[in-house]
Amino acid sequence: MNVLLAANTVGAIAGIVFALVGGVRPAALSESGTPTGGERFYGWMYASRGVPLGVAALVAPLAWPGPAGALILCAAAAAQVGDAVIGIATRKATMIAGSSLLAAIHVATAVTTA
């Protein structure tokens, strides 16, 4: 269980970092030369979802073990599944792998701590 909590912690922090990078430097994630206004807009939209959800996924299993924490982790996992689907649509293997792995970690942590 400690290994799973550690993996969830590392994954949640990584999710927060990627969300912040998406907001501050959207071209780093989109791999475009100069970000358009739309890329900057959607980067901040991603960050406004990703940071709070990442913090919640980080804190939930420690602060609220049981059904409440599991629900938060399942919501975070659902967001990661959505990111993986976007990765499939845009053919970004790292996005598919990272989001899928983090979704699995969130679900496993939810099941273990519920």
Given the structure tokens 């701590």, which residue do they identify?
113
Question: Cα–Cα distance between 55 and 107 in angstroms, integer?
Answer: 16
Q: How many CB atoms lie within 10 A of CB 6?
A: 10
pTM for the whole structure: 0.88
Residue pLDDT, tens place only, 61-80: 999 989 999 999 999 999 99
The full set of domain ranges for the chain reads: 2-113
Average pLDDT for 30-59: 90
Average pLDDT for 31-42: 85
Res 105: pLDDT: 96
